[in-house]
Amino acid sequence: MSDLKILKIHFDHISLYNEKGLTIDFAAADRVSDFSEVFELKKPIYTQKLIALAGINATGKTIALKLIDLAMAVVLNHSSLNEADLLGTSYLEDQSRMTVDFYRNGMIYELESIFQRDSTERLTYREEFIRRKPIQSVKTKKDIYSFDETEVWIQRSNLQEEIQAVLQDDDSIAIVAARNNGISLRQSISLTNMNLWATVGKVPQEILHVFDPMLDELVTEVHGSDVSYTVKFQNRNRPYQLHNTYSLGNLISSGTIKGQNLLSMMRDVLQTGGYLLVDELENHMNKMLVQMILDIFKSPRMNPKGACLIFTTHYVEILDLVDRKDDIYITRRSRDEQKLLEIINYKDVVKRNDVKKSEVFLSNYIGGTAPSYENMIALEDALCQKK
């Protein structure tokens, strides 16, 4: 069994979102009929292998992904709030709150963190609580997130003075329950708009041929600040010798670059039962390659530790490859005057299993999942106007 599993992430008091905030449940909420689709933690708790965030442009898919990364980085990597490469912190405000439920070593923990910003906009913890209970106390799915106030195990403001003296104000008390967890957290969000090669060493030929059957060798060597690439194609006797990633991008396809970057990260999270976050999974990728990636995570043989792929997509046809309704989250703008971000689980609004998920989205049955017809007509009229 994997050492630690994230069960639920919730953010509220963030002005971009409506009053419900952002909630992602990694525990299967729908009935489990095919046990290969989920990872069994302990009955009745099963965790998801896929989480899909789908919606039209400007509905907060990437924001949600960054906030998920933030919560996971705090718990799994013990990241400090003001680390330069920590995603999601720019959306937190004074009094914003994050709640993360997770399992470890026979216990279910709930971390509640309340944030604050000082006059310089530096982000710190105003208060934190950790509650815990034995997993044996969970008899039904409804019990998973049920905690009494009396179950507070650790409170930040009640820590002994000598501990508070060494605990930085932007470091979470989550480290007490989650240290040395060994779970990998990888993300390619920062590479969404910069498709750059990020793998070091020699790539196995079997992997290269999935993305480019003519590409026989690709080796990346790093010597201090110098990086070199050796690239060999089947129809060329001599390999190419390159010394910057931009030249490499002119030689091999964008799909090969993204695919290899993802596979490198996938190997890491599959080995540890970890988490991989990918923004716009379909970018540069053939649909069959996307299906291959999803199938790898769904496979009990290739993913025995229950690693989870969390991804965003604009192309809702990909959702037809996702088996479970509770794996899918819909991002949209609220339909009131404020137009705040909201996120809802597909299972809560669509009860039928006999309708293709892509058709539900494209038909705008849910509302807010297709571009406004009036806006598209206005665009056409504007393009037809003569200068």
Give the strand order in the sheet containing 201-202: 201-202, 215-223, 226-233, 240-242
pLDDT of 1: 44
Give the domain range for residue 236.
201-257
Short-list 101, 96, 75, CA closest to 86: 75
The answer as to whether 19 is a domain residue is yes
Instruction: Give the span between the Cα atoms of 373 and 233, in whole angstroms.
Output: 48
91 contact partners, CB below 8 Å, separation of at least 6: 14, 16, 63, 66, 67
Question: For 135-147, b where at least 16 C-beta lie within 10 A, e where not — what string?
Answer: beebeebeebbeb
Residue 116 shares a structural domain with residue 215:
no
Residue 144 shares a structural domain with residue 229:
no
Instruction: Give the span between the Cα atoms of 235 and 270, in whole angstroms.
Output: 34
Residue 209 shares a structural domain with residue 73:
no
Q: Packing angle between helix 287-298 and helix 254-272, nearest 10 degrees? A: 0
The answer as to whether 179 is a domain residue is yes
Instruction: Give the span between the Cα atoms of 22 and 130, in whole angstroms.
Output: 20
Residue 19 shares a structural domain with residue 113:
yes
Q: 76 and 178 in contact (C-beta within 8 Å)?
A: yes
Residue 236 shares a structural domain with residue 365:
no
Residue 158 shares a structural domain with residue 9:
yes
Structure tokens at 215: 């590409």
Residue 232 shares a structural domain with residue 278:
no
The answer as to whether 89 is a domain residue is yes
Q: Mind giving me the DSSP string for 277-305? A: EESSTTTT--HHHHHHHHHHHH-TTT-TT
For the chain, 387 residues long, give each residue's pLDDT as a single digit of tens: 458 999 999 999 999 999 999 999 999 999 998 889 999 998 889 999 999 999 998 899 999 999 999 999 999 999 999 997 898 999 999 999 999 999 999 999 999 999 999 888 999 999 999 999 999 999 988 899 998 766 799 999 999 888 888 899 999 999 999 999 999 999 999 777 667 787 888 988 888 888 889 999 999 999 888 899 999 999 888 999 998 888 888 888 888 888 888 998 999 999 999 999 999 999 888 889 999 999 999 999 999 999 999 999 989 999 999 999 999 999 999 888 788 999 999 999 998 888 899 999 888 888 877 666 666 677 677 778 765
Residue 328 shares a structural domain with residue 374:
yes
290 contact partners, CB below 8 Å, separation of at least 6: 281, 282, 318, 321
Domain containing residue 308: CATH number: 3.40.50
pLDDT of 371: 65
Q: How many domains does the chain have?
A: 2
Residue 212 shares a structural domain with residue 352:
no
Segment holding 383, helix H or strand E: helix 373-384
3-state secondary structure of 371: coil
The answer as to whether 194 is a domain residue is no
pTM of the model: 0.91
Residue 214 shares a structural domain with residue 158:
no
The answer as to whether 40 is a domain residue is yes
Residue 228 shares a structural domain with residue 80:
no
Q: 97 and 12 in contact (C-beta within 8 Å)?
A: yes
Q: What is the CA radius of gyration of the chain?
A: 23
The answer as to whether 265 is a domain residue is no
The answer as to whether 354 is a domain residue is yes
Residue 244 shares a structural domain with residue 327:
no
Q: 329 and 310 in contact (C-beta within 8 Å)?
A: no
**Rounded to the nearest 10 degrees, how much is the dihedral formed by the CA atoms of 122, 179, 11, 87?**
50
pLDDT of 150: 66
The answer as to whether 188 is a domain residue is no
